[in-house]
Amino acid sequence: MNFAAGPQAGVDALQVVGVAKSYGSTRALSDVTFSVRRGEVHALMGENGAGKSTLMRIAAGIVQPDAGSLLVDAVQLPFGRPSAMRERGLQVVFQELTVLDNIDLAHNLFVTGLPHRGGVVLSGELYKMAAATFDRLGLALDPRALAGTLSVGMKQVLEIARAVAQNPSVLLLDEPTSSLGREEEELVFRLVRELRGQGVAIVYVTHRMAEVFALADRISVLRDGYTVMTRAADDVTRPELIAAMVGRVLAPTERVAPVSGHEVLTVQGLGGGVVRDVSLALQRGEVLGLAGLMGSGRSEVARMIAGIDPVETGTMRLRSEPFLPKNVKAALAAGVCYVSEDRKLTGLHLPMSIAENISLPVLRSMQVRGFLNLRSIRDRAQEWIARLNIRTEGPSRAVDTLSGGNQQKVALAKWLSTNPDVILLDEPTRGVDVGAKAEIHELIRSTARAGAAVLVISSELPEVIAVSDRIAVMAGGRLAGIIDGLSASEESILELAFRDISAEV
């Protein structure tokens, strides 16, 4: 496999010139222009709805722009032809996984170009090519292993390896670490740095500031469909980058003491699946952060409280009364709601409208003589669109037409509109831009100030620290400790997260 040679580093490999795209009256891109050099990691940032996803789909040949051009090695690409884009050396790895679980890794790598002769796949050559790809990338993977045996994180790595196997000169990565654990993130970082060293031009789309400053050589920012900034990463501060993305200075989230010390929800000795003997209390007016490494049992605790996963041991009490919901419906009826970490798979019905999604949990109350009150459903949605600043043309818009940040706001509105006493938020800002993230943080705090008890699970430690009054840390399925939110640091949380609980039991 021959990667782009190192001596060519510094030469423009990709040029995006004057790209524009509209969907009806909505302008997604307007005169987007920037370039990416060989041997460069070029971060592409912007709020949800800024046009990043549209640009990625144009680069992949899926969407045809209204104007502009893309050039790879000074050769203009034919829009709307994915195979032609790939043949010219441009590969796009989207956030959504396309790995085929029922075939092995080698066939996944070369699924669009299996070596063959006379219609027969040359298996020996295929596995040799796959092994060479893994070896070049430093991946200890068996080409004959089924892809379905990989973790979600390693499937993302396989997606990158599949693109690299096609010998790209330009590689576009769309949120490559959004669903990864810390170890898998480090593996992706290593792959990106190795590819940069081999002369590949990399466009790296992410919402995570830490990744940008750890990896990027230059940064371009899109806002409202325009390129508003392209600068060397070393010359940009975090506040400057945020201001370029959102067009305003973000106010810090207000931190106040919980409105009361009254315990709304208590769990004692909770166990089931990976969770072992967890005891917690959640107070009215409090935001309790739940942190820990991937697989530590964070989400499982919330899912048991919400009636999704079975409780094998322990007890729960809600407002001092025994609480053991058989399902989500029973939990919701008791005033407990759960916002899933995966809005696309389990949080929302994407083809349905905003109004329909927001009303789903309370449809029974929206009926008059057995018929749905469509006006009430629309008015309810319009109220939440205004309260959460959901950017849309109206409540009848399908959710799958919204940006990721606005989809997340709809998921929150869907459950907050039930007026729960206890709110369980699992990764509430995953895949959300910095502006929407600040708005969601303020929503979390204001919801607690209004008297709800809020549990927030997040893999982003700065987020946990920013919104939490107290932080409970999980390790190995058990509670490793609880830290006061105002005195917490990333180091203190990680110290508990890496604690060997099993040695203490």
Q: In this structure, what token pair is assigned to residue 22?
A: 């509209």
Q: What are phi and psi of 333, to 5 degrees?
A: -60, -30
Angle between helices 404-416 and 434-449 (to 10 degrees): 10
pLDDT of residue 1: 39
> Domain map of the chain by residue range?
6-99+150-246, 263-504
Q: What is the pLDDT of residues 331-349, one digit of tens each?
A: 999 999 999 887 777 778 8
Q: What is the pLDDT of residues 364-403, one digit of tens each?
A: 777 777 677 788 888 888 988 988 888 888 888 898 888 7
Q: What CATH number does the domain located at 263-504 have?
A: 3.40.50.300
Q: Please give the chain's pLDDT, 505 residues, in tens.
A: 344 434 455 689 999 999 999 887 778 899 899 999 999 999 998 876 678 888 988 998 899 999 999 999 999 988 888 888 888 889 999 877 788 899 999 999 998 788 888 888 888 999 999 999 998 888 889 999 999 998 877 888 898 899 888 889 999 998 888 767 677 888 889 989 999 999 999 999 987 788 899 999 999 999 888 999 999 999 998 888 878 877 766 555 555 555 556 899 999 999 998 899 999 999 999 999 999 877 789 999 999 999 999 999 999 999 999 999 999 999 999 999 999 887 777 778 888 899 988 888 877 777 777 677 788 888 888 988 988 888 888 888 898 888 777 888 898 888 888 889 999 999 988 777 777 788 889 989 999 998 999 999 998 888 899 999 999 999 889 999 999 988 888 888 888 887 755 445 5
pLDDT of residue 251: 58
Task: Give Cβ neighbours of residue 375 (< 8 Å, ≥ 6 apart).
Answer: none
Contact indicator for 73, 111 with CB cutoff of 8 Å: no
Q: In this structure, what token pair is assigned to residue 364?
A: 């029974």
Q: In this structure, what token pair is assigned to residue 211?
A: 């990744």
Contact indicator for 476, 277 with CB cutoff of 8 Å: no
pLDDT of residue 362: 74
Contact indicator for 440, 432 with CB cutoff of 8 Å: yes
CA distance 343 to 408: 7
CA distance 472 to 499: 13
**Per the confidence metrics, is the pTM higher than 0.75?**
no
- Rounded CA Rg of the chain: 24
Q: What CATH number does the domain located at 6-99+150-246 have?
A: 3.40.50.300
pLDDT of residue 4: 41
Does 6-99+150-246 match 263-504 in CATH topology? yes
pLDDT of residue 7: 40
pLDDT of residue 6: 41
Instruction: Find where tokens 């001596």 sit.
Output: 7
DSSP 353: B
DSSP 290: E
CA distance 417 to 243: 31
pLDDT of residue 5: 39
Using alpha carbons only, give the angle 383, 388, 392 rounded to the nearest 5 degrees.
Answer: 80
